[in-house]
Chain A
Amino acid sequence: MPDILISDPTLRDGNHAVQHQLNAHQIAAYCMAADRAGIPVVEVGHGNGLGASSMQVGESAIDDATMLRAAREHLVSSKLAVHVIPGFATIKRDLALAIDLGVDVFRIGCHCTEADITQRHISHCRQMGKEVYGVLMMSHMASPSLLRDEALKMQSYGAEAVVIMDSAGTYLPDQVTERISELVDRLGVPIGFHAHNNLGMAIANSLAAVKAGAQIVDGTARGFGAGAGNAQLEVLVAVLHRLGIDTGIDLYGVLDAADLAEREIIPKLPTINSVSVVSGLAGVFSGFSTHVSRISTEYQVDPRDLFFELGRRGVVAGQEDVIIEVAIQLQRSKR
């Protein structure tokens, strides 16, 4: 049993970075490498999770069933996980499919102040005997006490762990410590942390989370994920190894998996570009980066202005359509 459970969403968060175009061959190859490395949990799917492929947030190259079959076939020891946002994913259509295809772990996510919407999905997965985590996204938009209350709701619905996401990559380590400590103190289930690297803090923040008592940490190969990417998995494993914290993951194995990811599935390594920095400062979902870059070019507005205005409006994942509206307003005001 490891000290810290590493969950690897390379094949889910990374899908944001390639406009959800990962194919079955890439999924199979990475799953084989991850399984060999002993990565305990591998998350697969559209960037926004099960059932999210759509015009609004981007259409996947392959459907959920094909992705999950490719992963399931090549994960022997590692558990297969999916990200689930109620609204995108329905119980009858999507959860039933994922359960039939052998998904082990269901991470039911929502905006950080809307835990109520996860009750039916969490309850259903528990009733089907599945492992279920609650996930609070854009967690910087809630105070630590509000975050605690929403996490308590998820725990009462049956979540067996609660993960908070720094979806905008905006946290500094002290903020992570404050939030994770509050959750660890008040909840009776393990707490997890999912970092983004917009301000270069993903590893430091993950470490702060672990030191504050988090028991689940997300990391992706080469940091492959939305915006500036996530905590870089192989670095995270190495740092925890150096601290004497066991992850149960083979170091060479995870380095090999990351090398394979760079060769086979990552067309462009994540970097902290100017837009990412602004996205982090503005506190806007990292998954907006590709949309903001495209739309700012189309409407000839400064993407940094666009991000700050989106941040001022407090937009959240699923409100991608607002980007165009804001771009048009900025364009008009510029004229």
Chain B
Amino acid sequence: MRLPSQNESITSDLNCAIEPHLSALAPLRNSELLVTGGTGFVGSWVAEAVAYLNDHHSFETRLTLQSPRASQFARRHPHLGRRPEFQLQDIDVRNLLELPRQAAWVIHAAASPDARQHASDPTRIIETIVSGTSALLKAAVRSSDIRRILNVSSGLVYGAQPLQLERVPETYFGSLDPSSFTAAYAESKRLAETLCASYGSQYRLPISTARMFAFVGPYQMLDRPWAVNNFVRDAIQGSNLRIHGDGLTVRSYMYPADMATWLLVMLVRGQDGSAYNVGHPDGVTLLSLAEKIAGMRPKEIRIQTDVLREARSIRSRFVPDVAKAGRELGLSARFDLDTSIRRMMDWATSEAC
């Protein structure tokens, strides 16, 4: 049976992002990669990247995507899910006992970043991240083939970024209030990093960590409670774009073809025990972001900032310093925000059709 082909713009974007790193990624050739939480946003893009490497550069990399409902992935994305060198396994990472035979590389991306789930079921999030990471590392200790594990963490481990700190570096230790349930995700990610560091020290497991920031592009779901998702959704519907506060909150957004490339490079070339920020270094205010998105639609879309004059300042900043990834791994973001947003809009529009 002929497989549906990869989306053309995804192929061309991956070509642009990956091409400079082809030789760095050579260790992936003819080897096996496991992605836990493999059917989410991160896993889907890693799968797209591996498919690209196999189709266009004959990498012959075998990929296993694990998640509690991995088998449904093939129905949603048959061009990935039905590839013969890709395996889908319905496994909750908390119950993982052994890694797939011959798995040399692991990207550990299990756990949803959706704040709604964190609020409603914080204990489950803690258990998924902490017990899941623990189960994975125990299984990795029993495996003799592991070349490196990339632990997918979050920029939220830094806590609130000080407004005067333009970009947050990996050396910033931040601050979190552990007494609130709202810290469940970030504190769990912190503990997961400590678990990785401990397994690295005690069992000499080769582990690097990727701290993820914000992303915009295909595979982003419009119902997620993040500003850019809401803006794109409302703009597509022709509704006004609403911004809390004065619109001066700052975010930065990386295109996921860059993200997938960075993760693969970090997997094969990252230093053991090192953490790397993954995100775009150029911040944008939510007001500018909304204006950009509104300007991309054919019909006029109004932007509404806080309806109250004396709105309390709720500004925040979430922008990574990615100098370390550039310096040590030669990585840089190749896609600008306009392109990323256009790709996300095209994707969302075609998915809705």
Contact = CB atoms under 8 A, between A and B. Distances in A.
Given A153-B120, A190-B308, A127 B180 contact: no
A305 B119 CA distance: 40
B312 A157 contact: no
A126 B230 contact: yes
Given A5-B308, A156-B116, A215-B308, A129 B223 contact: no
Interface size class on chain A is: 20 to 34
A156 B115 contact: yes
Interface in A116-167: 116, 119, 123, 126-129, 131, 149, 152-153, 156-158, 160
Nearest to B243: A160
A246 interface: yes
Nearest to A150: B119
A46 B180 CA distance: 36
B31 interface: no
Interface string B304-329: 00111111101010000000000000
B331 to A, nearest CB: 32
B237 interface: yes
A169 interface: no
A127 B309 contact: no
Contact of B311 (A119, A128, A158, A190): A190
Nearest to B120: A116
A91 interface: no
A3 interface: yes
A149 B309 contact: no
Contact of A149 (B180, B223, B310): B180
A116 B307 CA distance: 27
Main secondary structure of the interface of B (DSSP, over half): loop
B233 interface: yes
A184 B233 CA distance: 29
Interface in B109-151: 115-116, 118-120
B242 A184 contact: no
B182 interface: yes
Interface in A1-31: 1-5
Nearest to A126: B230
A116 B124 CA distance: 14
A160 B244 contact: yes
Q: Which of A129, A153, A190 is the most central at the interface, judged by chain B CB atoms within 10 Å of its CB?
A: A129
A152 B182 contact: yes
Interface string B208-238: 0000000000000011010000100110010
B180 A158 contact: no
A189 B311 CA distance: 9
A146 to B, nearest CB: 11
A156 B311 contact: no
B242 A2 contact: no
A215 B312 CA distance: 9
B307 A152 contact: no
Contacts of A40: 307
30 contacts: A1-B307, A1-B308, A3-B308, A40-B307, A119-B116, A119-B120, A123-B116, A123-B225, A126-B230, A129-B239, A129-B240, A149-B181, A152-B119, A152-B180, A153-B120, A156-B116, A156-B118, A156-B119, A157-B119, A158-B116, A158-B230, A184-B312, A188-B244, A188-B245, A188-B316, A189-B244, A190-B308, A190-B311, A190-B312, A215-B311
Across the A-B interface, the 9 shortest Cβ-Cβ residue pairs:
A129-B239, A156-B119, A188-B314, A153-B119, A1-B309, A156-B115, A215-B308, A129-B234, A158-B225
